[in-house]
Amino acid sequence: MLRWLGHQRVAVLNGGLKAWCAAGEVLEQSVPNYPVADFAGSPDPGRIVTTDEVCAALHDGRPMQLVDARDRPRFDGHTEPIDSVAGHIPGALNFPFSENLHTDGTWKSPDELRRAWAEVLGTDATAPITVMCGSGVTACHLVLSAGIAGIDEPRVYIGSWSEWLRDASRPVAVVA
């Protein structure tokens, strides 16, 4: 999300705070005093996909590598703890963001992630990818995953499932 706003120097702590502590690193008990800085973010529209673009692709029958980061029961339409309707956008693929990580919370290797992406995308692994989730946040996890795997950066459907459902005329798919 920071890169979408134009900030290029971003990082994620592999394994999170738990891994930091396990490595014997120190946690500060006080709030450091940093000099005041200004950051004027400028959103890059080329990094996102809108609902209109998804609708147009579906209407025109254009293939769209739309990959949903939600867990399988939500994607399949078996449960929906947040939104009013369970399921997914027709034609979307499912790659739960949790499958990018080992059980200890660290990222899988580039090779493991490349294989996982290839399994999700099948034979169309070189087509541009758009990622989504429930609200557009965990989709960013798939953007990072693709980067680690050496795959071109996906665009993010920022409205994701919550926005898709705002119009009851939009189609919803479920897995039996």
pLDDT tens digit sequence for 37-54: 998 999 999 999 999 999
Give me the pLDDT at residue 125, please. 64
Give me the pLDDT at residue 168, please. 93
Query: How many other C-beta atoms can be found within 10 angstroms of the C-beta atom of residue 54?
Result: 23
Give me the pLDDT at residue 89, please. 96
Which domains are seen in the chain, by residue range? 44-164 (3.40.250.10)
pTM of the model: 0.91
87 is written with which tokens?
């399921």
Q: What type of residue sits at position 36?
A: V
Catalytic residue ranges = 133
Is the four-CA dihedral 46, 48, 50, 54 of positive or negative sign? positive
Low-confidence spans in the chain with pLDDT less than 70: 125-126
Give the residue among 10, 3, 5 at the shortest CA–CA distance from 40.
5
Phi first, then psi, for residue 155 (nearest 5°) are -90, 160
Give the residue among 33, 32, 11, 51 at the shortest CA–CA distance from 136.
51
